[in-house]
Amino acid sequence: MVPGASISAAPTRSPATSPGSGLSASPALALSFIAVGLGFLLATVVTLALYPALLALPYPHPHVVALVHVWLPGFLLTVCLGAWYQLTPVILGTKLRGIRAAWVHLPLHTIGVVALTIGLASGRYGLAAIGGSLVTLGTSISAGIVLWTFIDSSRRDAIAWSLPLAGGWLAITTLAGVVLATNRQDPWLATPVLALLGAHAHLGLIGFFLTLLQGVTFQLVPMFTLGQLCRPRCVAAGVIATQIGLPVIVGALAVGHQATLIAGAVILAGGLAATATALATTFASRRKRRLEIPLIAFCVGWGFLVIAGLQVALTRLRSGTWESIGATSAYGHLLIPGAFTLMVMGMLLKIVPFLTWMSAYGSAVGIKAVPRATELSRPRLEKFWLSLHLAALLLGWVALGLPNALGALMAQATPWLLLAGLTLYAGNLGGILAHLHPKLASRHS
Amino acid sequence: MNTIATSPAPLAEIEQAIRTVLDPEFGLSVWDLGLIYSVEATPDGVVRIAMTLTTQFCPAGDVILSGVRAAAESRSEGWPVEVALVWEPAWTPEMISPAGRDFLGWQ
């Protein structure tokens, strides 16, 4: 060929040069948050191994509250923060603002969660309030970073809006947690503690995790499956319903107003149905037909969330309140180790290999052969983890409904199944992150 | 400053090199994904590659772009290589090659 000749891989086009993708964000920040989150996962695993009976205790028990805080703000939130910092510039199509502040967020969050959980477990609520304040300072920083980046961006669809909205709810959640801890230390609120605990939990689970997932899901799923977002209005409806339903629910939980609570639960359930519709059509449009374990876990998590939403709406409509602490525990199991954990852990099995691949092999692309990002994870370990996790959930739910010797036996077996699954999961992620070691990376390229 | 090469641009070799650049998620060549719109030798002595990404929000965009450039330069026999990222026309799954569709299980 001579100058002026060309090869065209597609029909003739006249390309307009773009200034560049501008999407490169260092994976180091995200991976650091994820590594700390895995540390909290390990802490959970060790705690469960040492005290397997914890899962059989009623949910208001201080040790259960502490364990839930190692799991939620410790593991799930920390890994989500890492993914959040990585995805925000990608979704908003602009550089992440305040990266230095994000690095400051990491130690604040880590120290804060450790102090918070020690304070909760030991009943030293002053220490819990100090830890919570550090976490709140961190979440305020992250909310500010994401809002600043959002303002810089021109993208204004529901996916983009979910980022700053989730950030705002997160900061409110952690602040509410500090208020709760100070109230336990020196009671000054007339509201019952359990009502406040319920309001705080829903603020975090629905406000941060659900809002974020209702948006980001529709960025990630098409990206991982070569699918298309088919129902953007349903996505927007889901996010809007959550923003309306959540304050209604939280306010009603705090003051104990049942009719308002039902109205909030119905609004939220409607939003979940809209999100589920959008998700189903997006998955149906996928070009990569085979669903991998991480995406199956993610879908199962969404399924549990819809069931939990329906369960709470129907129960509240029928009897106005939960029938027992056991029923509340079952709802909590469905929501925390079920829905949100499966969604976050599933997506983490896509995000961690990708970020690791970017760090370990990105600079060698086009120069020498490199493995695929998806090859870094071990499908067999993924499969065993998901099977064990689902078995643990099933056993746990059955045990909650069986107040006899068999139920007690099942309750004893549940943490061991969960533990086995988590160990495999952590081992798999450790193996993925090991690719960051230069020797292993050079062996694979 | 670019110098016009005296020998013809090895476009076929460059295409083969680009085919070795894989999408990290799907393991499919960027060529089979339909991301490469054109590879041409311009009269001013440059090999210009016009390519796109599956989405403007592709987090691996910069890595794929620099990978395509590195692969092309490895076979360009001294020809300077320019990679232009374009968004028009927008990429659609219909641009995936038949081999790529088979690979993905989409037929």
* Nearest-angstrom CA–CA distance, A327 and A331: 6
Tens digit of each residue's pLDDT (9 = 90 or more) over A230-259: 899 999 999 999 999 999 999 998 888 888
Is the dihedral angle over the CA atoms A326, A192, A138, A106 positive or is it negative?
Answer: negative
Note the pLDDT tens digit of each residue in A172-214.
999 999 999 999 888 888 888 888 888 999 999 999 999 999 9
CB contact under 8 A, A6 and B24: no
A425 inside 8 A of chain B by CB: no
At residue B2, the pLDDT reads 42
Partners of A23 on chain B (C-beta within 8 Å) are 57-59, 61-62
CA-based angle A234:A240:A242, to the nearest 5? 105
Residue among B38, B96, B101 minimizing CB distance to A13: B38
What are the pLDDT tens digits along chain A (445 aa)?
Answer: 444 445 554 433 433 334 334 444 568 999 999 999 989 988 887 887 788 778 778 888 899 999 999 999 999 999 999 999 999 998 998 899 999 999 999 999 999 999 999 999 999 999 999 999 999 999 999 999 999 999 999 999 999 999 999 999 999 999 999 999 999 888 888 888 888 888 999 999 999 999 999 999 999 999 899 888 989 999 999 999 999 999 999 999 888 888 898 899 889 989 999 999 999 999 999 988 889 999 999 999 999 998 887 777 777 666 666 556 767 777 888 898 899 999 999 999 999 999 999 999 999 999 988 999 999 999 999 999 999 999 999 998 888 778 778 888 888 888 889 889 999 999 999 999 999 987 676 766 6
A29 contacts on B by Cβ (under 8 Å): none
Are B84 and A18 in contact (CB < 8 Å)? yes
Interface test with A, best of B32, B85, B96, B106 (most A CBs within 10 A): B85
The ipTM (two decimal places) reads 0.87
Contacts of B99 (CB under 8 A, 6+ apart): B32
The pair of three-digit structure tokens given for residue A168, joined into one six-digit string:
């705002």
Contacts of A222 in chain B (CB under 8 A): 55
The residues facing A7 across adjacent strands are: B39
Is A86 close to B37, i.e. CB distance below 8 A? no
CB contact under 8 A, A223 and B55: yes
**Structure tokens belonging to residue B106:** 């989409």
Burial of A213 from C-beta contacts in 10 A (0-12 / 13-18 / 19+) = buried
Residues in chain B within 8 Å Cβ distance of A4: 40-43
Q: What is the pLDDT of residues A37-82, one digit of tens each?
A: 989 988 887 887 788 778 778 888 899 999 999 999 999 999 999 9
Q: Residue A180 corresponds to which amino acid?
A: L
> Minimal Cα–Cα distance from A374 to chain B, Å?
6
How many C-alpha atoms does A151 have within 13 Å on its Cβ side? 7
